[in-house]
Structure 1
Amino acid sequence: MDQVKRKKCHPYLVPIIAIVETLSETLGPDYEVVLHDVSGEEHQIVAMAHGELTGRTEDSPLTDFGEYLLRSEEEYKGVHYIANYPSYASDGRPLRSSVTLLRDGNEKIIGFLCINYDMTRAQILKDLGTELTCVVPLKASQVAEETFVPSSGSLLQKILEETRQQRGGRPLRYTTTREKLEIMSFLKSKGFFRLKGAVEALCKELGKSRYTVYGYLREIRTGDNDNNNEDSSQD
């Protein structure tokens, strides 16, 4: 830490120097920590860490906001700190700043403990995160998203759960024959019957035999063929 000590430092501020050192080591190089002594006519920096973030040195003046706080001391009576307000380095880099108003026994402001966070690297990470997590919805009408599952059995259960949710979460075995045919059509559109073990899983879900399930399949296929024939005759 670039530490600067002055002989005329207000005695109340001496213990704060160790806090500047602690904050510097804890927060890291993206944080500038500065202790100002404003108890006398000549304001001075008592201790500073990572001044390179703002380009300041021990001879740099108090900021315009610091001067404003002194001029408006009565307005800020009872205020002990101001946190996370926006500020800017001399080269325009955005900072997030906080200041603790240090007072003597008479509640007069004698110093400022300032923390200025350079958000440059955080902004880069934020932009990178946005870029890396940007997705474009699939255009396929029947596929809203892609899901990776460890096995065909897992995918079968996922499709069956989606089918149940479409019907209010009701178990599929408690549906009418017409509803079961609608379910068969939906499952066919999802590619359910191309998966290994599909018929067995559906038999268990519907509480029906393989013979009955295959009968449902034949019926919806017959319906599909009839619809195709009607379309052809209209052409």
Structure 2
Amino acid sequence: MKKPTLSPTTTSGFFDRYISILDFFAEVCGPDCELVLHDLSCPEASIIAIRNGHISGRTEGGTMSEYAPSFVRLVRSGGYTRNMVSHVDRIGDGRIIKSHAFFIKDEEGELRGMICANHDVTNLVKLHDFLHDRFQFIRGMRPAPEEEGVAVESLLEPDASSGSDYDIEDLMDVIIEQGIAEFTVSPAEMGPKERMRFVGMLNDRHLFSLKGSVARTAERLGISEATVYRYLKRENLRQL
């Protein structure tokens, strides 16, 4: 028997408990992170609450982003069982946004809503590009790394006392996900040649100037770190 569609009136109380969560994370994450609570029973006016709405220009009563409906269809089809998905995109004004969607389900496991966190990481990407340009001269004066043909990862080591690990990880995710978006197959479907080309693309975009980037790339591709290093060595030899 098909379950009745819940109206916004019958669902409003269900979401009350999540308002304080939005307030908390908006305070913790700061003004560069938009927090949105969606009621999926009313997709044309799904936004129940929004914090830092200046990022997207949306307000309460607004609709979901262009990506959200595809998330909902994926979960409802049973094709995605995790509670959270993420993606990275460049929006119309050129800013780069990293988004996470957390799925809210009722006691019976039915999808009822989403909390979306949209983090503007544009400044991180600009900072990476700026620092990479400045470090080129320093890199030229450094001795060769121990691993032959491997890009130096230690130039942009995060300062543990500054709490910057999260930002560096965000930056790596942005560069990796943007690269993946340029391929017609997912990382799981890539063959050796495609993976090598992908690693070469990331190398051209200076990803491997960031500490921990080899491990993060290996995890995303589902291969070993040694394989990433091997691809990097071949890429560096090709550029000689």
TM-score (norm 2): 0.50
Q: Is the 8 A contact 1:82 1:98 kept in 2?
A: yes
Q: 1:49 aligns with which of 48, 51, 63?
A: 51
Shift of the 10–104 alpha-carbon distance from structure 1 to 2, 3 Å rule, reads farther
Relative to structure 1, is the Cα distance of residues 88 and 74 closer, same or farther in structure 2, using a 3 angstrom cutoff? Answer: same
Instruction: Confirm or deny that 1:80 pairs with 2:83.
Output: yes
Check whether the contact 1:54–1:89 (CA below 8 A) recurs between aligned residues: no
Aligned partner of 2:125 in structure 1 is: 123
Determine helix, strand or coil for the equivalent of 2:137: coil
Describe the shift of the 1:110–1:88 C-alpha distance in structure 2 as closer, same or farther (beyond 3 A): farther
Work out whether residues 45 and 58 of structure 1, in 8 Å CA contact, stay in contact via their aligned partners in 2: yes
- 8 A Cα contact 1:54 1:90, kept in partner: no
% identical equivalent positions: 24
Letter in structure 2 aligned against 1:91: D
Structure richer in helix, relative to its length: 2
State the distance in 2 between where 1:53 and 1:41 align.
20
Structure 2 counterpart of 1:104: 106
> Cα offset for 1:41?
6.5
Report the CA distance shift for 1:42/1:124 in structure 2 as closer, same or farther (over 3 A): closer
Q: Distance in 1 between matches of 2:43 and 2:132?
A: 49
Shift of 1:86: 1.1
Distance 1:8 1:16, change over 3 A: same
User: Are the aligned partners of 2:85 and 2:100 in contact in 1 as well (CA < 8 Å)?
Assistant: yes
Q: Per the alignment, in what secondary structure is the counterpart of residue 37 of structure 2?
A: strand
Answer with 1 or 2: which has the greater Rg. Answer: 1
List alignment gaps of at least 5 residues for structure 2: 1-7, 145-240
| Mapping of residues 1-40 of structure 1, within 5 Å | 9-40=11-42
- In structure 2, do the counterparts of structure 1 residues 89 and 55 end up closer, same or farther at CA, with 3 Å as the change threshold? farther
Among candidates 50, 60, 63, match of residue 61 of structure 1 = 63
Distance 1:59 1:94 in 2: 24
CA distance in 1, matches of 2:19, 2:133: 42
Deviation digits for residues 194-234 of structure 1, max 9, x if unmatched?
xxxxxxxxxxxxxxxxxxxxxxxxxxxxxxxxxxxxxxxxx
How many Å separate the matches in 1 of 2:83 and 2:136? 42
CA deviations 1:87-138 (Å, max 9, x no partner) are 2334232211100011111211111100011111111211221122221636
Assess if the C-alpha contact under 8 Å between 1:53 and 1:89 holds in 2: no
Q: Output the CA distance in 2 between the equivalents of 1:12 and 1:76.
A: 25
Q: Distance in 2 between matches of 1:64 and 1:51?
A: 16
Count, aligned residues: 135
Task: Indicate conservation of the 8 Å contact 2:44/2:64, yes or no.
Answer: no
Q: What is the DSSP-based 3-state SS (H/G/I as helix, E as strand, rest coil) of the residue aligned with 1:10?
A: helix
- Cα separation, 1, equivalents of 2:123 and 2:15: 32
Contact 1:10–1:39 (CA under 8 A) maintained in structure 2: no
**RMSD across aligned positions (CA):** 2.6
- SS of the counterpart of 1:105? coil
Counterpart of 1:105, as a letter, is E
Relative to structure 1, is the Cα distance of residues 125 and 41 closer, same or farther in structure 2, using a 3 angstrom cutoff?
closer
- The aligned residue for residue 170 of structure 1 is none
| CA distance 1:21–1:54, change in 2 (3 Å) | same
Cα 1:125–1:104 shift into 2, 3 Å: same
